[in-house]
Structure 1
């Protein structure tokens, strides 16, 4: 079996633009957790399913598995600072942020234009990641601003 070097793999895939999403959940102790992911997509219209790929060892993946729920927040041009906050190891990621709780007790950040409240429909192993398939139970959407994509290891804003 040929083994691809991780840095070569990262370099190659940095040429693929990706949307960015902040995933939030709540762990079994009631602590809010969140992570920024670029592997997120729609999966099915009927039923409405999305999938997120989160590091298997991340508190966010473990919390979504134990709580059976997560929220996905679509990162736009004005949300890049929040995406970087949730990509960090900062233990106080929710400090100063406005949120409400979903019907399943997951924090839904109010500073995003689009968020999806999901119950965990299925989970699958994906190497060092866990694929979380979410059944979308609620969509929160306000006037959308311009989108942002992650490309070549930095954000790029798209014009509408």
Structure 2
């Protein structure tokens, strides 16, 4: 007999003990508008071919853009980009005012100052639970050597400190 699942709060708190990097996933909608959201559900999948994944709530307002678009970019934030992470996580704000970016593959915005950027072809999607897992085939990537990433752990932002 299977055990009952943990409470949502207990599950979230346990997940919070896994420190992650912070990303903003960006795309251009079919109507030309810009879409972006803060996500820490980013991970590598394969080196050959180069694949990465991230997930998005089925209820997200940007789901249609990401589900039907051909490309998106995963922008790994630097330690100095906490305000940007918070802005792109907020609801009912203009996320793009004053944000500097260049245009990447398929029109996906590449955020200035990101410590790494992965330009992805929207290769596959898997519905699991209340989220959709997106697997992107990396067409181009870049990074800034020596830059410190923004980290998230236990509901707080951090920067790295070598041990």
Is TM (by shorter chain) over 0.5? yes
Deviation for aligned residue 1:95:
0.8
Give the drift of 1:3.
Answer: 3.6
Match of 1:147 among 120, 140, 149: 149
In structure 2, C-alpha distance between the alignment counterparts of 1:21 and 1:75, rounded to whole Å: 6
Cα distance in 1 between the residues matched to 2:17 and 2:105: 38
Runs of 4 or more off by more than 4 Å in structure 1?
none
TM-score (norm 2): 0.90
* Ranges in structure 1 where 5+ consecutive residues have no aligned partner: none
- Residue by residue, what CA displacement relative to the aligned partner does 1:38-74 show, whole Å, maximum 9, x if unpaired? 1101110011000011112223332122112110011
Does the C-alpha gap of structure 1 residues 23 and 144 become closer, same or farther in structure 2, counting only changes over 3 Å?
farther
Q: What's the counterpart of residue 79 of structure 2?
A: 77
- TM-score under structure 1 normalisation? 0.91
Secondary structure class of the residue paired with 2:54? strand
1:132 has 2:134 as partner: yes
Unaligned runs of 5+ in 2: none
- RMSD across aligned positions (CA): 1.6
Paired residues, what number?
A: 160
